[in-house]
A and B are shown apart, each in its own frame.
Chain A
Amino acid sequence: MTKVKSLADLKKMKETLQTKIDIREKGDASESLVQIKVAMATCGIASGAKAVMEFLMEELDKRGIQAVVTQTGCMGYCYAEPTIEVKLPGKEPVIFGYVDNKKADDIIEKYIKNGELVDGIIPTNFESIDNK
């Protein structure tokens, strides 16, 4: 891996990474993947997030759905762990709470395949600094 040598370098790097992530998130025709983030902090893992993450990866693969599954930190909804965020190409991300394998299966079949929402969405209830 190369070192970042100056602030200008870092800014350039940010732009490329940002575009890469934007493409991944907003999707252009070639790279329109489903993106799933699993909250994997201590609270999430304690309530089974790891198993759900494995389940999602396996099942999406088996069912031939192109998706990126990544881990992230605590989303703050500890009462509803495990929580996952699902982002369909071109859509706002949706957060689902209390996701066990059965729920994950529902999410794949209904939301990811058909865009139908399923019960247990958690509305975002905070403002992030990006839109301030």
Chain B
Amino acid sequence: MHLLVCGGTGCRASSSDAIVESLKSELAANGLENDVQVIMTGCFGFCEKGPIVKVLPDNTFYTQVKPEDAAEIVREHVVKGRKVARLLYTDPAKNEHVSDSKHMGFYRKQIRIALRNCGFINPENIDEYIARDGYQAIGKAITEMDPQQTIDIIKKSGLRGRGGGGFPTGLKWEIASKNKADQKYVVCNADEGDPGAFMDRSILEGDPHSVIEAMSICGYCIGASKGLVYIRAEYPLAIKRLKVAIDQAREYGLLGNNILGSNFSFDIELRYGAGAFVCGEETALIHSMEGLRGEPTVKPPFPAESGYLGKPTNVNNVETFANVPVIILKGADWYSSIGTEKSKGTKVFALAGKINNVGLIEVPMGITLREVIFEIGGGIKNGKKFKAVQTGGPSGGCLTEKHLDTPIDFDNLIAAGSMMGSGGMIVMDEDDCMVAVAKFYLDFTVEESCGKCSPCRIGNKRLYETLEKITKGEGTMEDLDRLRNLSQVIKDTALCGLGQTSPNPVLSTLDNFYHEYLAHVNDRKCPAGQCKSLMQYVIDPEACVGCTACARNCPVNAISGERKKPHEIDTAICIKCGACIEKCKFNAISIQ
């Protein structure tokens, strides 16, 4: 028998170490220390009901366990085989105790569809993919269905593009299929350039065949025999695995001429991007593949009419593709039973920032931010206070406390002033300054703007400069108005999605954290203590004992004072290096 005690950060904060100790001593008291092992585990993704203790092999799942409960668990459960009912998880819907975690239906908040094979199969071995129903979907499509029937399944499933825009995938395929041409192209957008995002990379590294199979299904549907994956050269492992996968698929005849004995032929080539964010935009991506400058052009014409080399081209995102084979095999109804009314299925998010369980998660649409951050994500690092979560990368916005219970889907995120984006989710705590966050994203945009149109090239630069002025404590109320107006103008007039969405981080922080902007402008203070120019190091004369440690360590001799007398910092000289704070053993120095 094993007793698993959650040693994840959340549960550890609420005394799981003490629980392990008391369990061990209770076992020893009963002479069971050699028969029952107590093990610390990682987070169960159920932190809100922590600390968790799970008993193996019977899968009993105890929640909110206290060290005092150890005696009862050992006496009742381990010795007598009777579960401790009061510690069992209670199903809130039925108000019943659930004794076996296998029956805790929704304890598992994650459902893996796009990531179904990631972390299970060896991505460099096609046999493992085939053993998990790989290439059956393309087989089913070409042997049992015509292209329109296949498109209808995707349409009915409600799948929407995961590259950011959320355009209905089936409809996109239908449009491309109706455009007549001697050659058409299927393009997989694997450019993934937002800071903090690694969903697409992980899919390609963990399950490249699912993307290859889906691209050929798309080719069958729209009548294309050529596929191109546009992938950034900075993803060497993903490139290597894709290449291996393509070679293996060719060897098995699953790519190439007359696939599975049909008259459908399809093959895939790789194209490398140099890592410019704007090249993720589909028209810029196509130009870059054509060997032209990676600059967007006005839509229409949409790629479905005139794309790569002027031919009808269907562009989809990696994760969008990864969903397709399962939908074909399990059916549209199965897929559309997951998610919300207008956003079906699941979404992969890369959880990052000030969160305990940084990682890759896949959750059904409609899950709340609270569940993602405080359960799956294990809550905020170091027990700090949650402040905001950034979704949608440089095109998105910041969501706050008041959005924690909003179900996540395409439309709700837009209504809340952010967007789904490709799935980066960066969590911020009380120490993050929201003006600085907006500035960070604008810095990225200015860097990545292709410069083709002036609202984006010049406008974003001005936004950045204004934000910089504010973080230096030189901002005025007029600057705040200017930020808002200019943002609106850029949104309305920029040529491509990059410029049209780049002011979002500014607008959403202005909306949700106006008080922080005001503090910078009116009080010349940064409430989070992030903006260096607004910080002041001060010595509290009451607490200072005059030990001189700080003065001896200040690199610019900004601190003066007599031995055993309160010291003082000359703010005009101080370069805010922070060295003195670390040296003071009496906590007499603070940042204000």
Contacts and interface: CB of A to CB of B under 8 A. Distances in A.
Interface stretch (A5-13, A26-34, A56-64): A5-13
A21 B131 contact: yes
Interface in B357-374: 357-362
B42 A97 contact: yes
Contacts of B238: 42
Contact of A14 (B37, B133, B237, B261): B133
Interface string B331-365: 00010000000000000000000001111111000
Interface in B122-138: 122-125, 127-128, 130-131, 133-136
A118 B112 CA distance: 27
Sorting the interface of chain B by its residue count into under 10, 10 to 19, 20 to 34 or 35 or more gives 35 or more
Interface residues of A, number: 49
A72 B260 contact: no
A34 B135 CA distance: 28
B128 A120 contact: no
Contact of B140 (A7, A74, A85): A7
B78 interface: no
Interface string A86-123: 00000000000100000000000000000011111111
B260 A76 contact: no
Interface string B101-144: 00000001111110111111111110110110111100110111
B115 A1 contact: no
A117 B116 CA distance: 26
Contact of B123 (A72, A85, A128, A129): A72
Contacts, number: 178
A21 B132 CA distance: 10
Contact of A123 (B45, B115, B252): B45
A129 B323 CA distance: 12
Given A14-B131, A73-B202, A45 B360 contact: no
Contacts of B42: 77, 80, 97, 120-123
B200 to A, nearest CB: 12
Contact of A121 (B41, B135, B202, B252): B41
B119 A75 contact: yes
Contacts of B139: 6-7, 10-11
A78 interface: yes
A14 B108 contact: no
Contacts of A97: 42
B39 A118 contact: yes
Contacts of A41: 118, 201-202, 205-206, 237
B41 A120 contact: yes
A4 B359 contact: no
A73 to B, nearest CB: 2
A10 B130 contact: yes
A3 B253 contact: yes
B514 to A, nearest CB: 34
Interface string B238-257: 10000000000001111000
A125 to B, nearest CB: 3
A74 B119 contact: yes
Given A3-B253, A71-B124, 5 more contacts: A7-B143, A10-B130, A76-B361, A117-B2, A120-B41
Interface of A: 1, 3-7, 9-11, 13-14, 17-18, 20-21, 37, 39, 41-43, 45, 70-80, 85, 97, 116-123, 125-130, 132
12 contacts: A7-B142, A21-B128, A39-B119, A41-B237, A72-B119, A72-B120, A77-B357, A79-B358, A117-B4, A121-B41, A123-B41, A130-B116
